[in-house]
Amino acid sequence: MQNVNFFKKQGGRWFSQRTTHYLKAGGSKAGKSDLEITYIDAGADEVIQLCDEANGAAAAAVGGLRIAQKSTIVGGQARNQSTLLVAIATDESSGKLVSKPNDTSPPQISEYRLENDVLTIVTEANGLRAEERWWFITDKLRMRTNVLSDSDGQTMASFCSEIRLGDVN
């Protein structure tokens, strides 16, 4: 299954460099992150539990990703975050992506589509629309873009280049 392979390929330790452009206010910021991404099988308890919390069909779960992120923005403070993502397929190349940033937040539901080895994630909430794309240049080099829009148009755009450092211990 194409979805499973793409999500499994995310696993590992990654170094990420990010540039974010604030389109309405002007200006940009650079940042970096250390990511540890662990693939979780579809039948794992935490995947099934998150599907249940989001009223998703656990039987259609592709699998999950546990993402531990340590980030800094130039001129800002360091931030640590852990997120559980679960992909629930509606067909071979699309479905819902359920994310939960920590154990106390309610899950957020996005739509995803995998075409030509590019994962597109669309999230709409509170009058905002985020469209994120993930793709691999090689097995050790991944790219991500994100565009945030509101009713007046695009407000923020970011680009990340990420280098795989190895496996998660």
pLDDT (0 to 100) of residue 145: 98
Q: Does domain 2-166 have CATH number 1.10.260.40?
A: no
pLDDT (0 to 100) of residue 25: 85
pTM across the whole model: 0.91
Q: What are the residue boundaries of the structural domains of the chain, listed by start?
A: 2-166
Phi-psi region of 46 (alpha: psi -120 to 50; beta: other; left: phi over 0): alpha
| Per-residue confidence band for 154, with pLDDT thresholds at 50, 70 and 90 | confident
Average of per-residue pLDDT values in the chain: 92
Token pair in block for residue 152: 């007046």
What letter represents residue 50's amino acid?
L
The average pLDDT across 109-126 equals 95
pLDDT (0 to 100) of residue 76: 82
What b/e string do you get for 22-42 counting C-beta neighbours within 10 Å, with b at 16 or more? eeeeeeeeebebebbbebbeb
Kind of pairing, strands 94-100 and 118-125?
A: unpaired
